[in-house]
Amino acid sequence: MKFKNIWTSVIIFYTIIILLCACGKQQQDTPDKLYLGITCYNQSDTFINQLVTCLKDKLSQFENDNFEVTMTIRDAAGSQRTQDDQVQELINAGCNILCVNLVDRADPSEIINLAKENNVPIIFFNREPVAEDMMRWEMLYYVGADAKQSGIMQGELALSAIQANKNIDRNKDGKIQYAVLEGEPGHQDAIIRTENAVDTLKNNGIELEKLCCGIANWNRAQAQNRMMHIISQHQNNIELVLANNDDMALGAIDAYKKLNYTESALPVFFGIDGTDVGLNAVKDLELAGTVYNDKEGQAAAIAKLAVEIISKKEITNKYTYLPYSKVTSDNVNDFLNKDK
């Protein structure tokens, strides 16, 4: 009996030693350094610029004595060729995770091939690759938000405004004459936002008359130009402007200001994003509402995912979508003070 006990103790002792060795080895395999290579489709895009600033902040929060975080940020300035070269350069520089905000969301092949050959995982963000491309390697992830939800919320904001203020229907014909300013063609956040905003109004009994739709590629100056043109065609008849993002809504407001329109002749404007300029315009009652695109949440999700991948944690979701929120002058201060 005594003999048996000794053997049991010996076996337990060696099992513990083997387990300890295995743990030690695993720790050795885990790099204690995260070197993130980030490339953006265009850093002059207001929302992307703020999202990247948030990302720097969220990543630095993971840094401690045992875990070093470094990042290099590149701006592809609208060229997919440039972005492909940047990915090669970031891999050569030793990045162990890539964060890619694709220029052309339908053309990530070159980047995926490079990453796969060099075994560097990719977290795509904001510009979603098609599902087929996402399936090409298990180390591809996406962080973003659900375009449909933002469209529905913009429609709901416009619905509440129209129901609360009968004067929005300025010519009192029982219909709302509207114009749309759309983001880049082919972007998951452009057509889906427009369709869902318009459908939400229609499904809630608002009669609509579409006057015009202009593409302004998320850009304030382009939106101002498009809107000047739309106003020259429709003068005082526009009652509502639905813009796929805040910068384009602000560009539309710029156009009216430039033409010296009086306040009573202005339509109501709605944006999406809740960028700093967008929120301030809501506070100043120039924008009737916006839909908050949670850049802090997206940045935190990207940072957490990057750390988990490096630490070889098991990751079950390839996709992370952060929820949007509605913003009006009633709650805008909560968003303006978000990170303070």
**Residues engaged in binding ligand GAL (CB under 6 A):** 45, 47-48, 126-127, 187, 189, 218, 245, 272-273, 293
DSSP state of 37: E
Helix (H, G, I), strand (E, B) or coil at 108: coil
Q: How many CB atoms are closer than 10 A to CB 182?
A: 24
Determine phi and psi for 198, rounding to 5 degrees.
-65, -45
Least spacing, CB of residue 171 vs Ca ion, in Å = 5
Q: How far is the CB of 51 from ligand GAL (least distance, A)?
A: 8
Q: Which is nearer to ligand GAL, 112 or 272 (CB)?
A: 272
- Indicate the residue among 200 and 298 with the shorter CB distance to ligand GAL: 298
Helices (H), 118-236: 131-134, 147-164, 191-203, 220-234
CB of 102 to ligand GAL, least distance (A): 9
Cα–Cα distance, 287 to 278 (Å, whole number): 8
User: Minimal distance in Å, beta carbon 45 to ligand GAL?
Assistant: 5
- The one of ligand GAL, Ca ion, none whose footprint includes residue 210, by CB under 5 to 8 A per kind, is none
What are the φ and ψ backbone dihedral angles of 295, each rounded to 5 degrees?
Answer: -65, -35
What is the closest distance, in whole angstroms, from the C-beta atom of residue 182 to ligand GAL in the complex?
A: 11
Rank residues 96 and 149 by Cβ distance to ligand GAL and give the closer one. Answer: 149
| Cβ-based nearer residue to ligand GAL, 176 or 226 | 226
Give helix 276-283 / helix 246-258 axis angle, nearest 10°.
50
Closest approach of Cβ 271 to Ca ion, in Å? 21
Rg from Cα positions in the chain: 25
Q: Which of 176/327 has CB closer to ligand GAL? A: 327
Q: Which does 171 bind (CB under 5 to 8 A by kind): Ca ion, ligand GAL, none?
A: Ca ion
Residue placing its CB nearer to Ca ion in the complex, 175 or 312:
175
Residue 319 DSSP SS3: strand
26 contact choice in ligand GAL, Ca ion, none (CB below 5 to 8 Å, kind-dependent): none
Per partner kind, with CB cut-offs from 5 to 8 A, the member of ligand GAL, Ca ion, none near residue 196 is none
Q: Which partner in Ca ion, ligand GAL, none is near 338 (CB below 5 to 8 A by kind)?
A: none
24 vs 174 by CB, closer to Ca ion? 174
The listed partner (Ca ion, ligand GAL, none) that binds 126, CB under 5 to 8 Å by sort, is ligand GAL
Q: Which two tokens stand for residue 85?
A: 């070269």
177: which 2 tokens?
């004459």
Query: Site residues (CB under 5 A) for Ca ion?
Result: 169, 171, 173, 175
Residue 310, CA distances (Å) to 74, 99, 139, 216, 319 in order: 21, 13, 11, 39, 17
The token duo for 84 is 């492909």
Residue 269 has φ and ψ, to the nearest 5°, of -115, 140
Check if the beta carbon of residue 141 is closer than 8 Å to that of residue 315.
Answer: yes
Least gap, CB of 172 to Ca ion (angstroms): 7
Q: Binds 140, which of ligand GAL, Ca ion, none (CB < 5 to 8 A, cut-off by type)? A: none
